[in-house]
Amino acid sequence: MAIRPLTFRAGDSAVRDPRGGSLDPAVVAEPASPGNRITTPGGPSNWVLGSNAAMRRIAKSIERAAEVECTVLVCGETGTGKELWARLLHRSGPRASKAFVPVNCAALTPTLAESQLFGHEKGAFTGAAGRSLGIFRAAQGGVVFLDEIGEMPQELQPKLLRVLQQREVIPVGATEPVPIDVQIVAATNRDLEQEAEKGTFREDLYYRLNMIELKVPPLRERTEDIPHFIEFFSKKFADRYRLPVWVPSGEALAEFCAFPWPGNVRQLEHTIEQAYVLQTEPKVPTRTAVRAPAAGRLPCLDLAKLREQAIKEALEITRGHKAQAAKLLGVHANTMTRLLKELEAGGPADDAEA
């Protein structure tokens, strides 16, 4: 059954919701709210918390962490809303009127990151025509959100450790440290304890970051919340696209609850919005068929074919996300790029490196 438009005009959504995007992070906690939601003050609900006990515990921990202004580490799979929790902490504490500055640690490069994070003085390096505050000083009095902290270059990790320990930064080209007053919230989809054991992440930095560690469960572990999300997103996109609210049948709801949702809440939201854009009834994504060889035997003994099959299946599972596919295969992202180029060219790869 298709979702038929009421008085929908394509240009309306941009006017009605100029922010677009997903899971609007402008939220504050409202524990007693009907329907178990986190809501905007004086406005409609814009994120569903759900009824899962683990999510309730996280909400209480966030409230306490905001009160004492300590460092927080938020762990969870991609799409579980880690940045949203960081923004909730910001809005729940005494730093709400100050800046919230997100940093994508995966995008930092060792040559520029020190200046980006800690600032620099005029003439500190070629091209430094003026003085820069850097992220930590720009966020003075507020909250710095270090997203994908597990991806931070190792050269920067001891410098971040000093910031956490001494609460001061040394701008590039400066001779004296500058005190800072920021609360730091970090997030990762990696197991930093395992990364520390392998030596890819500093152990002392890990222990300094996780003064309070919050583990956000994946959506498949809190299926009781899926009906809340479906109801919320259906109303959200019905309003945005001027269409009727989708009310799933019992069979459809069972399918949505049974699906594992590897992309978590973000994937569920995307699935429902896609249906509204196409004016069709929402459907669970098509499962990737995994062909398991009988009796635990490999489908063939040709290494080139096995490698090709592994790469293709990893890309199918991650919906074409090369970095995530590389993680599934246990190779570096650069190696993944090289393997894909060699597959396209039809040439062999260096088996030892692959």
Last residue of a domain, one of 214, 235, 252: 214
Last residue of a domain, one of 197, 214, 231: 214
pLDDT of residue 301: 65
Domain containing residue 75: 53-214
Tell me whether residue 3 is in a domain.
no
Q: Are residues 315 and 202 in the same domain?
A: no
Structural domain total, the chain: 2
Q: Are residues 61 and 191 in the same domain?
A: yes
Spatial CA neighbour of 207 closest among 223, 196, 198? 196
Beta strands in the chain (DSSP E): 37-39, 45-48, 72-75, 100-104, 143-147, 168-169, 178-179, 183-188, 212-215
pLDDT of residue 174: 79
Tell me whether residue 99 is in a domain.
yes
Q: How far apart are CA 216 and CA 193, in angstroms?
A: 16
pLDDT of residue 107: 85
Q: What CATH number is associated with residue 113?
A: 3.40.50.300
pLDDT of residue 48: 55
pLDDT of residue 39: 40
CA 234 to each of CA 43, 86, 261: distance values in angstroms, whole numbers, following the listed order: 18, 25, 17
Tell me whether residue 239 is in a domain.
no
Tell me whether residue 263 is in a domain.
no
pLDDT of residue 83: 92
Q: How many CA atoms lie within 13 A of 216 on its CB side?
A: 26
Tell me whether residue 29 is in a domain.
no
Tell me whether residue 14 is in a domain.
no
Q: How far apart are CA 199 and CA 208, in angstroms?
A: 16
pLDDT of residue 115: 81
Spatial CA neighbour of 253 closest among 228, 227, 235? 227
Last residue of a domain, one of 170, 185, 214: 214
pLDDT of residue 299: 65
Task: Evaluate whether 29 touches 92 at the Cβ level (below 8 Å).
Answer: yes
Q: 3-class DSSP state for residue 184?
A: strand
Q: Per-residue pLDDT tens for 180-225? A: 999 999 999 999 999 999 889 999 999 999 899 999 999 999 999 9
Q: How far apart are CA 136 and CA 103, in angstroms?
A: 10
Spatial CA neighbour of 83 closest among 148, 29, 30, 28? 148
Q: Are residues 101 and 206 in the same domain?
A: yes
Tell me whether residue 188 is in a domain.
yes
pLDDT < 50 positions in the chain: 1, 7-46, 289-295, 349-354
Q: Are residues 90 and 194 in the same domain?
A: yes
Tell me whether residue 291 is in a domain.
no
Q: Are residues 68 and 209 in the same domain?
A: yes
**In this structure, are strands 45-48 and 37-39 parallel, antiparallel, or unpaired?**
antiparallel
Q: What CATH number is associated with residue 323?
A: 1.10.10
